[in-house]
Structure 1
Amino acid sequence: MSEAGGQARGEQGQTLSQEEAFARIRLLRSPNVGPVTYMQLMGRFGGARAAIEALPGLAGRAGKPYQAAPERAVHAEIAQVRKAGARYLFHDSPDYPALLTHSEGAPPILTLRGDSAMLSRPCIAVVGARNASAGAVRIARDFAHGLAEAGFTVVSGLARGIDGAAHEGSLASGAPGGTVGVIASGIDIAYPPQHAALQERVAREGVLLAEQPPGTEPLARHFPTRNRIIAGLAAGTLVVEAAPKSGSLITARLAGEMGREVMAVPGSPLDPRSHGCNQLIRDGAMLVQSVEDVIELLSGFDGLPRSSFREVSAAWHAVSDVDLGAPPADLDGDIENLLTTAPVTVDELIRQSGAGAASVQLALLELEIGGRLLRHADGRVSLG
């Protein structure tokens, strides 16, 4: 058993050494290293240990000293993961969810409790309002129950209202589909507190997933990243009830950008909690009124959704060591001069700089490691 929460498997099912698993956790917990940067570093240097050794030099090119995450902090985290009865799931593990792999900025490392086999079954996300109406809660519970009986794994975020009803309905079915709860906190933190028993049941009978390190309280900035995991796991996202500008609509938008099916249950125009779903349908989401409607849309899903809620964004790919050569000596400064606090696409930077895509990506990587770059949704970047 490796220290990193049990035996770890990596690319093509090969068992990771304890040292490499430890280095991967340390790399991801290091300052200014997010999912995109992590994957670029892994691709360029061929492994986490080599990437960690290179970090000070990369940051130095951006003009700042750098220290990777302390080893003692990683040892402490691993101990917390094991104490919580969880394990690590790495991006190249054979049981890492296939659909999530293909989503932009997929988390390179997750912590998991439960049966990871459920992640390989067809998944559907069921999301909606926290202050849901009684009718919507019943709809969510009934839909989740029927979908689980049909063999689908129901994914949601363990929030009050629709999320909780979705988990309860799928668990009550006792069917093979089951449920996955994705939380915005560490794997050992129950949120909201009134769902502590439900979260524990999801972990025992289904799967509980967290991207944040153990001990992390759920902060506002963690919920959008939690939503991207929910959308990324599932072939489709069903919104049962949601107000405009709600987190559920963010999940639906992310699903649309990933090329997944987006579905919504229509509601009364007199209830503000239905306006989000009705708007989704007007904008191209599929109207569904029964479990059978959802099953028909998702059975045999081949990546071509019938919903037209959002155009599919360009696929995201990690930059490999073949792609990344050393950038021209002055390119970092040129790229930084093109950036402002307003997010811009990398393609626009490539066009304006006149440099090759690989050189621009490496310049951005160095700026990010140096703490001078922020990454945003849709592959955009800005000054940090």
Structure 2
Amino acid sequence: MNVTDAPTLTRDEAFARIRLLRSPNVGPVSYAQLVRRFGTAADALEALPDLAARGGGRYKLAEVARISAEIAAVRACGARYLFHDAPDYPDALGALDSPPPILTVRGDVALAAQPTVALVGARNASAAAVRIAREFAAALAAEGLAVVSGLARGIDSAAHSGALAGMAQGGGTIGVIASGIDITYPPENAALQEQVATMGLLIAEMPPGTEPLARHFPTRNRIIAGLAAGTVVIEAAPKLGSLITARLAGEAGREVMAVPGSPLDARSHGCNQLIRDGAVLVQSPADILELLRGFDGAPRSRVREFQPDGMDDDRHETFFGTDQVESVDLVGLLGVPPIGVDELIRQSGAAAGAVQMALLELELAGRLLRHAGGRVSLAG
């Protein structure tokens, strides 16, 4: 049974990686830190109980039987694992601050290496917006672009349908879901999701069998934004998930575009707000192609997530090396309100590696939460 396409990754280490990521309190940031420090997931697994004890908690690894069942479920639905260091892991996604360490995929992963654009918007979209999404997606796919969206109702569904209709010219579509790869949500999109998986590419970060809970959608949105050179919002009310996707795209240094709408329609207020905040106004597929074909990593748009005062603009994690680091107590500096890791380093006066180690120990013990923007807080 193959669980990876990476030629240098042994079967045992692939199993250990999956088990590491599925173990309690291990997320993308802590996973990367653990593998970086210990060299292999197998060695990191052995260290977890001691690290959690140093953080003030007891630890129980994910059960071996659970991981074996997960691998069997992935195989049964025709999917496979894609690890962060596999040759075909998408470069654009890997450039994120916290890329998904392991994905499950169905379809043609090479599609993610093509020029890619995200089309997102409201679930309860107007008929006009649905038509725009379908026509834009068909035109962009006909020009060789991969159209990525989230397989939700409304704009997402229209984007996938349009791209499937226009993909004969070399483009295609990528669906990113907030559930396990064997779950369809909403249920009425079962046929569409199967089309995306067989004719394009279907991606999930959650383990098979996972239902799409509300907390999973922001992580799904970061993958949509991370895969694409630019994100287009076609219709959205303020504070909806598609605006989060757009702002995550801006934070990742990607282009952010929005289709303007009537101020009399609340479903257009989010797009109009994005344009006011610095997104590029687009009214046709040609506008999108002009931006993306000339994209050199310096977006014209200026959409960013809110940055708390005192937070550095450079949010890349400082990973500790393999040498032992000094012990540092951060509990007194932490509270329920999130604080930037860079601020903790400044206030503690400790080395960056020591701070990262202390945070990792607290996280494994279940005493620390990580937030967007490189911020952390005490749990509860």
Query: Structure 2-normalised TM-score?
Result: 0.96
2:245 maps to which of 251, 261, 273: 251
Distance 1:78 1:52 in 2: 18
The 5-angstrom pairing of residues 194-343 of structure 1 reads 194-310=188-304, 313-317=313-317, 319-322=319-322, 325-328=324-327, 331=328, 334-343=329-338
What residue number does 1:46 align with? Answer: 39
What residue number does 2:348 align with? Answer: 353
Aligned-pair identity in percent equals 67
1:318 CA displacement = 6.3
Matched, 1:183 2:177: yes
Residues 242, 28 of structure 1: CA spacing in aligned structure 2 closer, same or farther, 3 A cutoff?
same
Distance 2:320 2:65 in 1: 30
1:209 CA displacement = 0.3
2:157 maps to which of 155, 164, 169: 164
2:72 maps to which of 76, 79, 83: 79
1:133 maps to which of 126, 131, 149: 126
Q: Report if the CA contact (8 A) 2:118-2:230 is conserved.
A: yes
Distance 1:8 1:172 in 2: 30
Q: Report if the CA contact (8 A) 1:86-1:112 is conserved.
A: yes
Aligned residue identity for 1:89: L
Distance 2:223 2:317 in 1: 17
Q: Report if the CA contact (8 A) 1:8-1:21 is conserved.
A: no
What residue number does 2:5 align with? Answer: 8
Residues 210, 377 of structure 1: CA spacing in aligned structure 2 closer, same or farther, 3 A cutoff?
same
Q: How far does the alpha carbon of each residue in 1:153-173 deviate from its partner, in whole angstroms, 9 at most, with x for none?
A: 000000000000000000001
Secondary structure (helix, strand or coil) at the match of 2:118 reads: strand
The 5-angstrom pairing of residues 354-373 of structure 1 reads 354-373=349-368
Q: Report if the CA contact (8 A) 2:315-2:373 is conserved.
A: no
Matched length: 372
1:317 CA displacement = 4.3
Q: Report if the CA contact (8 A) 2:152-2:186 is conserved.
A: yes
1:71 CA displacement = 0.6
1:17 CA displacement = 0.5
1:62 maps to which of 42, 55, 60: 55
Secondary structure (helix, strand or coil) at the match of 2:133 reads: helix
1:51 CA displacement = 0.3
Alignment RMSD: 1.3
1:106 CA displacement = 1.1
Matched, 1:376 2:371: yes
More off after superposition, 31-40 vs 306-315:
306-315
Q: Report if the CA contact (8 A) 1:40-1:318 is conserved.
A: no
Q: Report if the CA contact (8 A) 2:119-2:133 is conserved.
A: yes
Q: How far does the alpha carbon of each residue in 1:26-50 deviate from its partner, in whole angstroms, 9 at most, with x for none?
A: 0000000000000000000001000
1:177 CA displacement = 1.2
Secondary structure (helix, strand or coil) at the match of 2:105 reads: strand
1:315 CA displacement = 4.8
Q: Report if the CA contact (8 A) 2:140-2:171 is conserved.
A: yes
Aligned residue identity for 2:370: R
Q: Report if the CA contact (8 A) 2:318-2:352 is conserved.
A: no
Aligned residue identity for 2:98: G
Distance 2:210 2:53 in 1: 30
Distance 1:301 1:98 in 2: 16
Distance 1:133 1:245 in 2: 18
Aligned residue identity for 1:112: V
Secondary structure (helix, strand or coil) at the match of 1:242 reads: coil
More off after superposition, 109-118 vs 296-305:
296-305
Distance 2:244 2:180 in 1: 22
Q: Report if the CA contact (8 A) 1:325-1:358 is conserved.
A: no
Distance 1:45 1:361 in 2: 14
Distance 1:223 1:258 in 2: 18
1:104 CA displacement = 2.0
Query: Structure 1-normalised TM-score?
Result: 0.95
1:309 CA displacement = 1.6
Q: How far does the alpha carbon of each residue in 1:353-377 deviate from its partner, in whole angstroms, 9 at most, with x for none?
A: 0111111011101110111100000
Q: How far does the alpha carbon of each residue in 1:53-101 deviate from its partner, in whole angstroms, 9 at most, with x for none?
A: 0101101101222111111100000000000100000000111110111
Q: Report if the CA contact (8 A) 2:315-2:374 is conserved.
A: no
Q: Report if the CA contact (8 A) 1:102-1:316 is conserved.
A: no
Q: Report if the CA contact (8 A) 1:119-1:153 is conserved.
A: yes
1:314 CA displacement = 2.2
1:301 CA displacement = 1.8
